[in-house]
Structure 1
Amino acid sequence: MNTELTPAPAAAAAIPGRRISVAPMMDWTDRHCRVFHRHISRHTWLYTEMVTTGALVYGDVERHLRFNDEEHPVALQLGGSDPADLATSAKLGEKWGYDEVNLNCGCPSERVQKGAFGACLMAEPQLVADCVKAMRDAVSIDVTVKHRVGIDQVESYDFVRDFVGTVAEAGCRTFIVHARNAILKGLSPKENREVPPLKYEFAYRLKRDFPDFEIIINGGIKTTAEIDLHLAHVDGVMLGREAYHNPYLMADFDQRYYGADTPVPSREQVLEAMLPYIEAQLHQEGGRGLKLNSITRHMLGLMQGLPGARGFRQTLSDAKKLAAGDPRLLLEAAARLRQST
């Protein structure tokens, strides 16, 4: 666990590219989830939940930024719209050893809108450019932007093209494109991930119009066949909910997308690899009230699609067993799965 404010610039050159990544997802992609995903894929790029600048400038920095060294490559996603606060937060992210800082310009929640950041920033591309410049001036790690293809009823490709062009003038070279509009009024965040139609062609056109930029596509992608199709047009693919609910989808990503010659881990090997981590976390964090469920809740989808997966989930969700705080519950769940097959 990174507990000291020490950057790790020497490791950056060895970090693989963002060919495949897991999206920042509130309440899901915390540090325990990221360690779990890392045991499935060594090279897939991981992102934190969105952390607001206010939480870092005025709050508990360690609580929001501490992570485990095994998570690399890992990016910090920031939410905010004040260039100075974003610069301060980016510097903190670099000090804590993150490999990238990403600015959220895609979240449509009312709470985010009240803070004048997230998706509503797409209406102010020059402000986003100012924010990017402030962060780039403050850090040496990559500064990237995650955004939508439009907001509300704006359907023109020109809108997102001009947004990217303006932000690029501040030096941003990586754009993560959630290929849907964000509807700022009338749809919940969940509905905003499902209702607005997908416009993958807009992301493809961005790559054609800005061939020197890294364009990563996000939104509704669920299979390796779909990933392969998108990679014929853009530089990278970011998975969201599918990576969380069906994490073993990522098991062969190192070999398939990064050319690794390491063996694909089995599901049981992933469980066994998590045991020392869970034991260490419960020992280190016991005084802070860490519960076993804080880690195991991210693992419920590991057996997705297998006979007996329901029993596996039931075992890992058993309140009495979880209260005992014994990491070997993972092995008990795996044994129940085997008995069902």
Structure 2
Amino acid sequence: MESALSAGIQMAEALQTRLPWLESMWLWVTFLGDPKSLFLLYFPAAYYASRRVGVAVLWTSLITEWLNLVCKWFLFGDRPFWWVHESGYYSQAPAQVHQFPSSCETGPGSPSGHCMITGAALWPVMTALSSQVAARSRRCSPGLVDDPPSPHGAGAQFLWSDCTGPHAGCQPHLLDPHYAGPGPFLVQQDVGPPNGLPGSTLPEGHSSHRSINLASKWCERPEWVHIDSRPFASLSRDSGAALGLGIALHSPCYVQVRRVRLASSQKVACLALAMGLLGALSWLGHPPQASLFYVFNFLKYTLWPCLVLALVPWLVHLLSAPEAPPTRSS
């Protein structure tokens, strides 16, 4: 593990010293790969392009982020900005690596949420796009024979088509509003480790607050250590989003618009309005106390799917619906 971390540090040092002009690009890539961007960008964009794909993106995000959190508590991987100091690996020649606000995260570093969560959540989007491209290719070239898929690709495609196809076998489970129950279940499964409650099990020699203490100790600027990067923040986000998804699918607004085929202009209006509202919620301040922040974060992400699935489409459809022609008096 030390060799992998050392190679990562050397690569980061080389990029920062030899290609400093790429700094803004890499920060932007980091933002796009952040799991929080799934809720802010990818989920609403995918939903307004295809309702089924959008729900799949959100559901995959919730499950994968929970699995990522479980893996983090078992693996307890170090983050580079504190590992270079704690390990003593660079005691003779300290590494010249700059820190950024996005690098001072407080949770364990392995496995990477940027890779695991975002990559898994975008898989439905890529599968849907590849299906569209393949369908258009077959229409343009009827005699074209498809390449045989790889075993893992065929399996993933089968699961995706089974869940989202016209005769979806698991469609009732995917869209059933009663599956909001995973929210409390996720809290019950993970509330112990991040908070050190009785009964929590962590690897031997690891404190439940070890990663938070190390981040606070070695981050260059205290204001970069954000409370929303704590492990339990992602759990409150996922639990709230799961509950909000169930509420949205059961809401009167969603019932009114679920059978309506929105025009392209209406979809663009929905996306613009949703992005504006979600952006305002994202930049909204939060309580400094950890317990109040978790409650606030839970409520905020409960509202998130309600806005995207129900309130925004209902409002756009209501405002853009053609008025009925006036009746002529006899």
Q: TM-score, normalised by structure 2?
A: 0.29
Please state which structure has a larger fraction of its residues in strand: 1
Which structure: larger Rg?
2
Q: Which of 1 and 2 has higher RCO (CA within 8 Å, sep 6+)?
A: 2
Give the TM-score normalised by structure 1.
0.28
